[in-house]
Structures are given as structure tokens and as C-alpha cells.
Chain A
């Protein structure tokens, strides 16, 4: 017994000693470091292979593109590019500013861009952002699994500071799209030493790679050679992996972390997050929309009146108010107000809650046969609002509408790819660049990559093509808005609401902003003076 007691006492003493030593430390370095809530990226940190948020956030800090989006308005302005000129909206001449270097000291040249884009487009590389190159002339020869050409003929290096891009079709708003991470330049190092690059990525942006521990954190350090006009101010960024959003939020409140890129739903109710975070609570218009896709391959949905009736039976105002504390905005069209070319109230009465008219439309269409299921993946926190939408439809139209979740996002995507939905399905969309076009082409063109509804309308295809080729951006935007109205009348996808960009800062942070694309603008990060 006595021996046991001694052992236990010794163990406890040791634990306490270790605990005592564990405190303190850090100090100087951590005072200059901004801790950011983060998650493991799904792919190695290669711009052309990253389409999700976690990898994208780090890549945006590591790289600078031809074009940069304004932190408040999302308006594009040239960054690495000196000038992007065109006469026919098909061939673009891009001149880049001198003085830009990668973190390893090599210069950023026109070749860096051309090599990067060719790599992303090439089929054997299986890059995630491959489809972003599809408008460039010669993509079709480079993109198959066995390419018939090594590089795209639409890309031509004129001199180290100039290159030209020729597209297959004119695309007026092309320069605006160039701020997307898939268009970032890649250093020579990536092509000669891929494994070395993946272990320590090299970019041309405001922060340099310092270290990474998988599943724990990733540290970036300020790039003092950064050639952009707005210099980064904080010394270090520490992207910390969290498995629960609530924990990271608590950490910001108690000062262990400086920045959360989102706010847990529980804190949104009753606007609690504004009281919790005070001046650190931020909200601005973004490019994310939620909608309900309609499986047009199911004959029960063939009549547009049925789709319109369902849309008018959803009480968007009440649902956004009660479930999202009024933070989300009821949709009045497919695009959001942060997008260039946005026209308010495109949907008109079709997105307005009108029980009487909804019932009338449904009766006119001859009613709806059988139960109406609404599907979403239950691992994404969609359950509360999907239940509410189903209830709204059921109460208004008097049909058996119910929410039928599937377990995972991958199961949801499997059903979408196989066209096996038997009812409405949740559709979340994050725009890639701040233009109305990002909400239309990939979703509603016949056979487009995210056209999960099986929607095909030759008039829409023609209108979109015409807008792509319009002489000016204004004309293009007008064309897109007209196409949007045509699609809304067909209602292949029922708009619900737009999600604003929401993020929170700790009391230590003076400024840390996201742009409307919900990407962190790390040059804005500043800490309050110590005191």
C-alpha cells in the first residue's frame, strides 16, 4: 500500500511539474503571430489543383495573381498585370509588371503564367481546376487523358514581360476572371522538383511558407520582398486546424485564436455573435447562394407551373429570420448583389411567398402526384432549414412534402452525378469571381459541369453565348441578366437565399478582412499595439 501511495504521489508531482513548465513560453514570436481557424486542405498546395476553401486560403496568401479583387467591393484591379488589352475580346495581350519575384528569388515572367496554365489544363496532371482553362484555344487537345498536343496553342509568350491568350470564343469578361487562384503563376521549382515544392510551396505572394505539421497547423511568414502595392503588416500567420467550429469560436472569445473564417450557427441565432465579438464581428455581401435543384428528368416536374408553384410556396422571409437570425438574405434571383452585373428582383413574384397564387398555379398544372421529397446531406448542417422549407411547402400546397436527408456530401454528389434524385435537392453555389456570369454558365448551360437538373434550353444557351461575345462588359452583363430572367421563368433551380460573408476577429486584432469572394485579404491583417 505504501509503495502504491509513493508511486501515485510521484506521478502526480511529475504531472504538476510538467504542467508548470508547460506554461509561459511563446511570448515575443506569438505576439506578432495571427492565429487563424483552418482545416486540412484536400490536396497539395498547388493553385491549379485547389478548388476548396482551406487550401485556397493559404494559396491566396502565398500567391499573387494578374488581377486582385477589392476587399470591399470585389472590383478587379491589376496586380501582377500591368495591362490587359484586347481588340476583339478573343485575343488578350497581357503585360506584367517588372520586379515581381518568387520566394526563391527567381523572377515572375510571362513564362511562369503560361507554364502554370498549361500544366493545369494537361489531362495527365488531373488538376482540380482544369476546367478553368477550357475557354483557351487548344484546350481540347491538351485536356484528354492522352493529350494530342503538349501545350495550348492559345498561349504564346511574346517576351519575358508579355504573353497573349487566345480563346476559342470571344469572352468579354475574361480579364475579370483572372483573379481566381487557378490562374496564379508557378515557379520553375515546381516543374523540376515537384516533391520539394509540395513539401515547401513557393509562391510570389505577400507571405512565404515557413512550416507545416499535417493535421495540426501551417505557418506562413511575411514576405519582405513582396512587390504588391499594399504590403503585409503582421509577421506571421498561423493556420490552425480545428475539427469543431464551436471550439475555434470559443478560442477567439477567450483570446487563444485571432480569426474565425465563419461563425457557428448556434451563435447566429438571436445575433449572439455580435454581442460576443463586439467590434470583431464582420459581415458583408458574398457570392454564396442556396437553392433547391429540380430533377427535370423526373416527369412529375416537367411542367414549369409546378416548379413555380413550389417556389412561391416557400416563406423565405420567415425562414431566414427565424433560422439564420436575419443574417441571410431571401433570394430575388440567381446572382448576389456582390457580383458585377447583378440586377435586383430578377425573380419577381416567382420568388415571393404567395400561398394563394401558389395553390392556383399547382391546380392549373393538375396537382402533384405522390410525396415530394427534399434531399440534402445531413453532414453539412442543412437539416434545420430543409425541415423548415419542407414544412412551408407542405402547409401552403397541401402536398406531402418531407425532408429526406442522405448521410454524406459524397452520397449527395453520387446521386447528382448519376441523375438519381427523386425530388428537390439542395444546391449550394460559391461564385468563383464577382460576376453574374459565375452564377449562370456552369449551372444552366446544356451539359454544363454543374447542371445537375438536366436543364436544356437552346434559347438560354444562345443568350449566354451572345453575352459572352458582347462588345463591352456592360453589354455582356445586360445579356447575362436577360438570360437569368429566361432561366428563372423555367425555374430549373429554386432560389432560396444568399449567404453573406461572415467572420470574426479577437480583441487583439485591429483589422483582418475577407473580400466578397470570402477569401482572406491577408495584407489587411493588423494587430492592436501591445499595451
Chain B
């Protein structure tokens, strides 16, 4: 297990370098004049261009630029935006919000999704099963912005139960509805995955053995069936957590959550390279680590899986 983890960690290095370089090159390469539109309807002054060229080493070739950026990054310097704000302070205010939102969404999709999946999977065909299938199909076919805007309009503007936007330093309660919106799609997938997986395992040999041993129905389902059936679900939840940690542009926009998704989106629109690259660097790490944790979790869930 230790060696496996170490090997996986080492694999992260080339992936990290590759992705960050591609992102760096792409963002600066988007336009051959990085200063177009930076000064409104007028052309930028030569002095402004000279200052910015020096700040971002634009005179060097792209590889040297990237290495200089990486060097600063390794000493903890994420650089500055065009407006002179430290990217690290932007991340420091935005990331806690994103993490909170991601956790709320994950919690909602895991709890509701798995419960719905178990109920419909164990009961088999019937009213509950059909209800779960139809309602999940409904959620899957709705784009997130529809769910978000409808809930905001109905609960926020019409009924006034929730705030139409989330305050700057949101509590978990403030994030319940946005979290539900964000997690609704994955919640449907989780429910369906759990259900399918349970139905398949119901005919497995180890389940028959467990029943033959005379175990209670509760124990057969809860311990033997569920634990094995959750492997695909955990894989899904793990990658989903990685994606959620990368921010949610649409949901953040609808509820004005000052998270990482909106920050990186704005950075791309304004071609604020330092912001985009800085955040993507962080996201790459988060995503890779989330995947690693999921792989390690398999061994915990299924004793047959060993990493040596």
C-alpha cells in the first residue's frame, strides 16, 4: 500500500507539469496581442505595455516564461493579476467557500442518492422503484441553470423563504439550496448507480452464501451486498468531489457565490493569466489527490482488492 501510494504520488509530477504548461501556453497564446481591450476603447500606452511585459516576462520565449513562473510558484508566489491583486489572496478568500459548497453538495447527493438507490434496489419493481427512476430521469434531463433559476425564482423572489444570493462568508445553511442545485444531477446518477449495482449483486454467490448461513435480511443487505455495491458509487463520488472542488461556474453565478469557479471564469474572459494558471495549478493537485484517495478506498470497501 505504501509503495503503491508513493508510485502514484510520483506519477503526479509529470501530469502536473504537463497540464500546467499546456494551460499556461494556451492562456497567453489565445491572442497575439495580450493588451488588446485592456485599456477600454483606447489603445494601451507604450509605458503600460512595457511595465506589464516586464511583470509577466513576456519578452522571453514561452518555455522560459513558464519556467520563471514555475520557479516563483514553488516559492509560494502565485503572482499578481493585471490589477495588482495577489492571486494567492484571491484564492484564500474564494477557496473556503468552494470547499464548503462542494461538501454540502456531496453530502446531499451521497445521502439522498444512496438512500434512494437502496430503497428502490432492495424493494425491486414497484411504485417506489418507478418513482425513483422517473424522478432521477427528470433531474438528469434538467440543466443545472434551470434548476438553479427556478428554485431561486420560486423560493427566493416569490416566496421569500431563501435569500436570492449567498452572503460573502456563507454558513452551511446558506448553501443548502445552492448545494442541492449543484448536487442534483449527480444525486440522480448516484441513486441509479446504487440501484443497478445492488440488483446485480443480489444474484452473486456471496449473497446466496450469506443467506444460506441464516443471516438476517438486514445484515445481508447492509453489510454484504451494500459494501460491494458501493465501489462504483464511491468512484463516482470521488471524481465528482474533484470536479466540485474545481468550482461550479453556473451555480456560483446564479446565487452569486464568490467561489473559485467564477474566479477562474472571469480570469479566462479577461485573459488574466496569473489568476487562471494559479487556480488551475491548485485544481490539478486537488483532482489528482481526490482520485488517489478513491483508489485507496477500494481496498477498504472490498477486501479482495490489494495494492502491493
Binding site for B on A (CB under 8 A): 1, 8, 11-12, 14-16, 18-23, 40-44, 51-52, 123-128, 130-131, 144-145, 198, 213-217, 240-244, 247-248, 250-251, 253-254, 256-257, 379, 408-414, 417-418, 427-429, 449-450
Contacts and interface: CB of A to CB of B under 8 A. Distances in A.
Contact of A41 (B83, B156, B252, B271): B83
Interface of B: 31-33, 36-43, 45-52, 82-85, 89-90, 93-94, 104, 107, 111, 152-153, 156-157, 160, 163-165, 168, 170-174, 176, 218, 222-223, 226, 252-256, 258, 262-263, 265-266, 269-271
B47 A124 contact: yes
B239 to A, nearest CB: 21
Contact of B222 (A1, A125, A409): A1
Contact of B157 (A14, A41, A253): A253
A217 to B, nearest CB: 6
A15 B168 contact: no
Contact of B84 (A8, A44, A123, A414): A44
Contacts of A126: 45, 47-52
23 contacts: A8-B111, A14-B172, A18-B171, A18-B173, A19-B176, A21-B171, A22-B172, A42-B270, A43-B84, A51-B42, A124-B47, A128-B45, A130-B47, A214-B90, A241-B258, A243-B265, A248-B165, A250-B153, A256-B165, A408-B269, A410-B271, A411-B31, A429-B41
Interface centre among B33, B42, B50, by most chain A C-beta atoms within 10 angstroms, is B42
A379 B268 CA distance: 12
Contact of A11 (B45, B107, B153, B252): B107
Contacts of A41: 83
A149 to B, nearest CB: 15
A244 B90 contact: no
Contact of A52 (B40, B165, B255): B40
Contact of B39 (A125, A128, A198, A412): A128
A129 to B, nearest CB: 10
A213 B83 contact: no
Contact of A250 (B36, B50, B157): B157
A247 B254 contact: yes
Given A15-B104, A414-B33, A198 B163 contact: no
A106 to B, nearest CB: 24
Contacts of A411: 31, 36-37
A492 to B, nearest CB: 15
Given A126-B48, A145-B46, A250 B164 contact: yes
A216 B93 contact: yes
B224 to A, nearest CB: 11
B37 A409 contact: yes
Given A42-B82, A126-B47, A244-B256, A216 B168 contact: yes
Contacts of B50: 126, 145
Given A40-B83, A43-B83, A215-B93, A19 B172 contact: yes
Contact of A215 (B49, B52, B263): B263
Contacts, number: 163
Nearest to B163: A256
Contacts of B265: 243
Interface centre among B36, B82, B262, by most chain A C-beta atoms within 10 angstroms, is B36
Contacts of B218: 1
What 8 pairs between A and B have smallest CB-CB spacing? A19-B173, A22-B171, A410-B37, A1-B222, A414-B36, A126-B48, A413-B37, A126-B47
Given A244-B253, A410-B37, A413-B36, A449 B269 contact: no
A12 B115 CA distance: 14
Nearest to A410: B37
A61 to B, nearest CB: 19
A251 B165 contact: yes
Contacts of A414: 31-33, 36-37
Interface centre among B37, B157, B270, by most chain A C-beta atoms within 10 angstroms, is B37
B258 A247 contact: no
A483 B262 CA distance: 46
Given A15-B104, A213-B93, A409-B37, A449 B43 contact: yes
A1 B156 contact: no
B37 A412 contact: yes
Contact of B168 (A43, A217, A410): A217
Given A124-B47, A417-B43, A251 B164 contact: yes
A450 B84 contact: no
B42 A449 contact: yes
A417 B266 contact: no
B80 to A, nearest CB: 10
Contacts of B171: 18-19, 21-22
B90 A215 contact: yes
Contacts of B258: 215-216, 241
Contacts of B32: 414
A450 B43 CA distance: 8
Contacts of B163: 251, 254, 256
A243 B165 contact: no
A450 B42 contact: yes
B37 A214 contact: no
Contacts of B165: 242, 247-248, 250-251, 256-257
Contacts of A449: 42-43
Contacts of B170: 22
Nearest to B257: A243
B89 A247 contact: no
Contact of A51 (B40, B168, B174, B252): B40
Contacts of B226: 1
A410 B48 contact: no
Given A1-B223, A124-B47, A241-B258, 5 more contacts: A18-B172, A18-B173, A126-B49, A145-B47, A243-B253
A198 B83 CA distance: 11
B253 A247 contact: yes
A319 to B, nearest CB: 23
A414 B49 CA distance: 14
Nearest to A412: B37
Contacts of B223: 1
B83 A410 contact: no
Contacts of A20: 173
Given A1-B226, A410-B38, A412-B37, A250 B152 contact: yes
Contacts of A42: 38, 82-83, 270
B256 A408 contact: no
Nearest to A240: B168
Contacts of B262: 243
A381 to B, nearest CB: 13
A426 to B, nearest CB: 11
A19 B83 contact: no
Contacts of A257: 165
Contacts of B263: 215
A242 B153 CA distance: 17
B133 to A, nearest CB: 24
Contacts of A412: 37
